[in-house]
Amino acid sequence: MALRFTLQFNRREFEYDVYNLIRAFYPMSEVVIWYAGEERPAGSFDGDFVVTYYDTHVSFSTSVNGPMTSIQFLTGWEDRIRTKNEVKQLVYHILSEQTGHTLPWGDLTGIRPTKIAMKLLEEGHSDEEIRHEMEQTYFTSEGKINLALSVVHREQEILRRMHLKKGYSLYVGIPFCPTICLYCSFGSNPLGRCKDMEEPYFQVLYRELAFISGEMKDFTLDTIYIGGGTPTSVSAERLDELLSVLGRNFDLDHLAEFTVEAGRPDTITDEKLRVLKSYPVSRISINPQTMNQKTLDLIGRKHTTEDVIEKYYIARSMGFDNINMDLIVGLPGEGEPEVAYTLSEIRKLDPDSLTIHSLALKRATRLNLFKDAYEPVSFQNSAAIMDRTAACAAEMGMQPYYLYRYKNMAGNFENVGYARPGKAGIYNVLIMEEQQSILAAGSGASTKFVFDEGRRIERAENVKDLSNYVQRIDEMCQRKKEGIDAYLRH
């Protein structure tokens, strides 16, 4: 059974930083926040946490595994970032002492580790100074500091080749899938149940793409990423139509990268691959997630491990020379032996890049909503598993080139992209480091305008619901226009 705790504050400060640290030390727990002066939450709880702020210090108390209280003197509330770090350091210290555990990324919550390292590098700090800062301020482990530094140095090499100020990237969202996987939290729609929305969706999408092309005609298009959903869930004819629209509206001859997320092997056909190959698509993804059939059946993937192998070799035979594969660690019922088997099978295939995802149980996923139904099945991840994936990537000649983290990740780890030299996913770096504007088309797509070398980000969001997207496309184009106009003026 999952543990249940209360978390009380005497004022509204840094609640979710503390909340997420507790969830990191007590995965799958339920933490109910309340405030001094309110009535204590009803129900049975396994312990209480209390944060009390004063003018000069903060106190953190816990009744879990026996009473424990500690205080930290604060530098002052004027510097809120530093004050937040001091609060998190106190909470981390108590929780680590209480549980007997440390976290690989220390007390980092809600911030990409590479952001810290990249900012310090751009300010002129040495690698050793960055190591000291991440260790002393955030309690990050040596291994994760090494990973972050390795990634940001490769990211810098990629970013130097992009048109950061006078360029942009394009994301095209295809929000359809054959079925919805149990762990999925993306805005996807089973194609069989909303087939009547496919035609109106694409016609409106083409309008939005034409609008973006016209507004951004004076900027260089560096990368295109077609994602979803599963873009290859639609027919070969529809894919050809979409790529033709892109070719008519955008200059595809000078792209640094053109990615199509083929994703689920059960949606890939020879005909669809031939369509992709007839356009300048330079990178595709064929995603096994795991090579254990029992797990695939459990999580709702409708392909077999044989499908992965077959579709991969077909793509190779057609000349695709930059194939990525996504794997998820922390899937229900999978421990080190299961992950080791998956990695051994992937090594035989020898893809060009490998993205390792640590399962994140977000609120929207059915695995989280109905986790009691999977109580007999474990959700595991460990340093040994992550080390094994890193070692496998290294044996395949790959190096880490981007990483990011979600809250509630299994084992408090990370997602890492590994690639051979020259095969890194450029769009992945651009969207993570937020140093180039990304124009996004499709339902649920989020456009990001980057100002002042990433110091300010403004977003223009598209609605997720398919019907609303179709009906409100003029409104969403207007949002983009306002953002583009502001971007041009700055």
pTM of this prediction?
0.89
Structurally, the chain folds into a number of domains equal to 2
Looking at the fold, whether 184 and 40 belong to one and the same domain comes out as: no
Residues 209 and 357 in one domain: yes
pLDDT along the chain (490 residues), means of 10: 92 95 90 97 96 97 93 93 96 96 89 89 96 96 95 96 95 86 58 85 98 96 94 96 98 95 92 98 95 89 91 97 94 89 97 88 46 46 84 97 76 87 97 94 96 88 95 96 86
Tell me: do 41 and 176 sit in the same domain: no
Residues 80 and 195 in one domain: no
Residue numbers of the domain that contains 36: 1-101
Q: What is the CATH number of the domain that holds 30?
A: 3.40.50.11830
Same domain, 331 and 182: yes
The pLDDT assigned to 360 comes to 59
pLDDT of residue 407: 65
Q: Is residue 252 part of a domain?
A: yes
Considering the domain architecture, whether residues 463 and 388 belong to the same structural domain is answered as yes
pLDDT at 28: 80
256 and 386 inside one domain = yes
Domain boundary among 101, 132, 153: 101
Q: 199 with 337, same domain?
A: yes
DSSP string, 358-382: EPB--TTSHHHHTGGGGTTS-B---
Q: Is residue 310 part of a domain?
A: yes
The DSSP result for 63-105, as a single string, is: -TTS-EEEEEE-S-TTSHHHHHHHHHHHHHHHHHHHHT---TT
Decide which of 54, 77, 101 is a domain's last residue: 101
Same domain, 334 and 197: yes
**Residue 416: both structure tokens together:** 């890492």
Q: In the β-sheet with 415-419, what is the strand arrangement from edge to edge?
A: 399-404, 415-419, 353-358, 323-329, 283-286, 257-263, 220-228, 167-174, 437-441, 446-451, 456-461
Domain membership of residue 362 (yes or no) is yes
Angle, helices 426-433 vs 142-159, to 10°: value is 110
362 and 438 in a single domain? The answer is: yes
pLDDT at 94: 97
210 and 90, same structural domain?
A: no
Is 132 a member of any domain?
no
- Residue 107 resides in a domain: no
d(CA 124, CA 446): 32
- pLDDT for 101: 93
Domain membership flag for residue 128: no
In a domain, 14, yes or no: yes
Q: What is the pLDDT of residue 374?
A: 45
CATH for 223: 3.80.30.20
The reply to whether 473 and 338 lie within a common domain is: yes
Establish if 119 belongs to a structural domain. Answer: no
Alpha helices in 193-334 (DSSP H): 198-215, 236-249, 270-277, 293-299, 305-317
| Residue at a domain's end among 101, 116, 151 | 101
